[in-house]
Amino acid sequence: MASKIIPVNDSILCVVDIQEKLLPHISNHPQVVKQSGMLIEAAGILGVPLVVSEQVPRALGPTVAEIKERLEGAGVIEKTTFSCLGCGDYEKALDAAGRKTLVLCGIEAHVCIMLT
């Protein structure tokens, strides 16, 4: 099997919809938060920029505290589409970062992750 190495200098970590009201419905959600937190920390160490989304936060709540405290000032982009790429502000953030390899972590994999 060929090795697939993610290019650090061309990557951006996309943290997708790890929100208060969604999280309790996710199987093994403590592990999801832990693993996402590890990815966020690794991105920080490697200098990989972050972009964070929240799906309609006034209805689904903000990003959970355990994740938000690791974001070190990264802006959170509110979206109303399932795909992050349907949100103009998200697309602008990706363009501004100038990275072409998206590394995704988050919840609602069957909708928001898959459609992004």
Selected catalytic residue, list 10, 68, 79, 87: 79
Selected catalytic residue, list 14, 84, 87, 112: 112
CA distance 110 to 87: 18
Instruction: Check if the beta carbon of residue 90 is closer than 8 Å to that of residue 77.
Output: yes
CA distance 51 to 84: 10
112 labelled catalytic: yes
Selected catalytic residue, list 10, 14, 17, 68: 17
CB-based burial label for 91 (10 Å; 0-12, 13-18, 19+): middle
Dihedral pair phi/psi, residue 4, rounded to 5°: -120, 105
Q: Which residue has the tokens 């160490």?
A: 45
Positions annotated as catalytic residues are: 17, 79, 112
